[in-house]
Structure 1
Amino acid sequence: MRIVVLDDYQRVARKYGKFDDDVQVLHEHLADPVEAIDEADVVVAMRERTPFPAEIFDRLPRLRLLVTTGMANAAIDMEAAAAHGVTVCGTEMHGSRNTAELTWALILACRRHVVTEDRALRDGRWQTTVGTDLAGSTLGLLGLGRLGSQVAAIGRAFDMRVVAWSQNLTPERAAEAGATWVSKHDLFTVSDVVSVHLKLSPRTEGLVGAADLAAMKPSSILINTSRGPIVDQDALVSALASGSIAGAGLDVYDAEPLPAGHPLRGAPNTVLLPHLGYVTEGAYSSMYEQVVEDIAAWRSGSPVRVLAGPTLAT
């Protein structure tokens, strides 16, 4: 039986998961993975790094088990997997604050010019920027679910006013999370920090567009640790280039890894991270351990944490 682990960027899969020596671990991202995995019976995918649309399953007749870290993966066509007789299993995510913590790393890095000052100091310069206070400013949250509520709590600890909006959010639910419901337009106009915490879906793709960015204060910043396509990327690049917003902190992009020469790589006043929201010691340890469990359980005929496929076990 051939098992292939994809997208082990940090070369840590064997550290966190007790894989057999004959398991093949690939470290570089493959835009088209079929040639590398066409003889595999089992493939392990790290989150949404490698998409598995229907046409990929068409080209992998030998594949029988696809394990994804996390209990949901929008990059996998679950119906196509089931139609091709492929069982898809997931793993539970360790901890619940990984992405919320990284959101605040980006907010603080942008507001206090951490990257700019680090580079300036290494170049021999001292104190080149003036930071912006968080206390007394307004934090606007697009989405107030689990992650948005965690970010809201930290915002209140910084003595920020917290406002929120999403398509289904009510004033009552916002108040329960310590936020004030506002309209989408008002969120963009009053917020000093706008942070995105929505799931990507047809309803949210392109939700933040040019008009929303134009409504922001010139002193405001945008943070996105959810999914790149929620924000109109071209509109964001234009807003940054024109200086109509003060900056952006991004952990997610339309295409990942972010291609060489992409306009965002040269955009001013940005802090760019390579989708690190879930990348922590605790999360990796938990996920890779459960990946090994999933493979063993499937091989024994009793798959666990099944998301799709011919055997919908639990």
Structure 2
Amino acid sequence: MTQRSPARIAVLDDWQSVASDVVEWSVLNSIGEVTFLHEFPADTDSMAARLQSFDVICVMRERSSFDEALLSQLPHLKLLVTGGMRNAAIDVKAAGKLGIQVCGTDSYKHAAPELTWALIMGITRNLVDEANALRSGQWQMGLGSDLHGKTLGILGLGSIGKWIARYGQAFGMNVIAWSENLTAEAAAESGVTYVSKQQLFEQSDVLSVHLVLSDRSRGLVNAQALSWMKPSAYLINTARGPIVDEAALIETLQQRRIAGAALDVFAIEPLPAEHPFRTLDNVLATPHIGYVTENNYRTFFSQMIEDIQAWDAGEPIRVFA
């Protein structure tokens, strides 16, 4: 009987250098050797040279792209594991043609909604400016906006959108929602009022985006939609950057046609150094940390290990269709 060589396992996208400590990777010692690679995503040729000797690669959400051009240059790759059960940066069809199994993980469901609400509180109460002012010796820089009695608009009443609706209701807000598939009956089940797209943008004091990125949702928050918003309104996006037309939003913010925006996601990530979102004083921006929490990382990495163990046993789990 021929004994299989130990697998070479790479863990990518560990931008905070925490992956090795979140879970116990040594349980994979009987399967192969785990290597943690901390370089940022690079061009296809650089990624191919860096990864071509690995049998198993673990990736974090959509930080690194695995398209057909890259996958075809990884002759040893047999298993690609991602955090979460959705990763638009992986060409699953191409992987299948090349005989590469793609598996995912569950996620901690509260991380993104909690970050969304933190951004809503942060932007409406000027928390960053006030905290920085206090550090510099100043005191009470401006007036915050209230939430109680205001209207919270939710663009996409899915699992995360429903949590945001609950938070808004707990704060005494009137909650409205719209998406192309939403019905008045489905909205009412969550105590939310169904409105049209234009009404959502016109009536919301805080408008939070919670759609999945698709051809249909890309650029949905465009110049026209932004023009419908109140001058006192805030836009929140913790879903995906390309759902919002960035050029239109930048112009809207520069001309102060809305009060501000709180953003955790961007069209290009990491956000370019000279991007206006880094300097506009009516933007609160965070570096895509909606899913970057202890519980979520523990879920991701522990289930990545389970995926590798199941694959090694010939019974893969959480397989991408």
TM-score (norm 2): 0.93
Aligned counterpart for 2:127 among listed residues 114, 124, 128 = 114
Q: Give the alignment of 1:173-192 within 5 angstroms.
A: 173-192=186-205
CA displacement, residues 216-274 of structure 1 (integer Å, 9 cap, x when unaligned): 11111100000000000111111111101111111111111112111211222111111
Query: Matches of 1:25 and 1:235 in 2, distance apart?
Result: 39
CA displacement, residues 123-164 of structure 1 (integer Å, 9 cap, x when unaligned): 111000100110111000001111111100110111111110
CA shift, 1:34, in A, is 2.1
CA displacement, residues 66-102 of structure 1 (integer Å, 9 cap, x when unaligned): 00011121211110000011001111113x2211111
Q: After the TM superposition, which parts of structure 1 deviate over 3 Å for at least 4 consecutive aligned residues?
A: none
SS in 1 for 2:176: strand
Unaligned runs of 5+ in 1: 309-314
CA displacement, residues 28-50 of structure 1 (integer Å, 9 cap, x when unaligned): 32223222112111110011111
Query: Matches of 2:12 and 2:150 in 1, distance apart?
Result: 43
Instruction: Return 259-268 or 227-236, whichever deviates more.
Output: 259-268
Equivalent in the alignment of 1:4: 10
Equivalent in the alignment of 1:18: 24
Query: Within the alignment, does 1:260 sit opposite 2:255 as a pair?
Result: no
Query: Within the alignment, does 1:143 sit opposite 2:143 as a pair?
Result: no
Query: Matches of 2:296 and 2:139 in 1, distance apart?
Result: 37
Name the amino acid aligned to 2:71.
F
Equivalent in the alignment of 2:233: 220
Instruction: Return 151-160 or 260-269, whichever deviates more.
Output: 260-269
CA RMSD in angstroms, aligned pairs only = 1.2
Q: Give the alignment of 1:19-98 within 5 angstroms.
A: 19-20=25-26, 22-32=33-43, 33-94=47-108, 96-98=109-111
Query: Matches of 1:120 and 1:193 in 2, distance apart?
Result: 25
Q: Check whether the contact 2:221–2:243 (CA below 8 A) recurs between aligned residues.
A: yes
Name the amino acid aligned to 2:284.
V
SS in 1 for 2:320: strand
CA displacement, residues 17-37 of structure 1 (integer Å, 9 cap, x when unaligned): 322484211223222322211
Name the amino acid aligned to 2:193.
T
Query: Matches of 2:68 and 2:176 in 1, distance apart?
Result: 40
Query: Within the alignment, does 1:197 sit opposite 2:196 as a pair?
Result: no
Equivalent in the alignment of 2:4: none
Query: Matches of 1:287 and 1:241 in 2, distance apart?
Result: 38
CA shift, 1:209, in A, is 0.2
Instruction: Return 16-25 or 132-141, whichever deviates more.
Output: 16-25
Give aligned-pair identity as a percent: 52
Q: Check whether the contact 1:229–1:253 (CA below 8 A) recurs between aligned residues.
A: yes
Name the amino acid aligned to 1:144.
L
Q: Check whether the contact 1:99–1:225 (CA below 8 A) recurs between aligned residues.
A: yes
Query: Within the alignment, does 1:231 sit opposite 2:237 as a pair?
Result: no
Q: Check whether the contact 2:10–2:37 (CA below 8 A) recurs between aligned residues.
A: yes
Equivalent in the alignment of 1:159: 172
Q: Check whether the contact 2:41–2:63 (CA below 8 A) recurs between aligned residues.
A: no
Equivalent in the alignment of 2:283: 270
SS in 2 for 1:121: helix
Q: Which has the bigger relative contact order, CA under 8 A and spacing at least 6?
A: 1
Query: Matches of 2:18 and 2:172 in 1, distance apart?
Result: 39
SS in 1 for 2:20: helix
Instruction: Return 105-114 or 13-22, whichever deviates more.
Output: 13-22
Instruction: Return 288-297 or 106-115, whichever deviates more.
Output: 288-297
Query: Matches of 2:223 and 2:280 in 1, distance apart?
Result: 16
Query: Matches of 2:280 and 2:49 in 1, distance apart?
Result: 35
Unaligned runs of 5+ in 2: 1-6
Query: Matches of 2:52 and 2:126 in 1, distance apart?
Result: 46
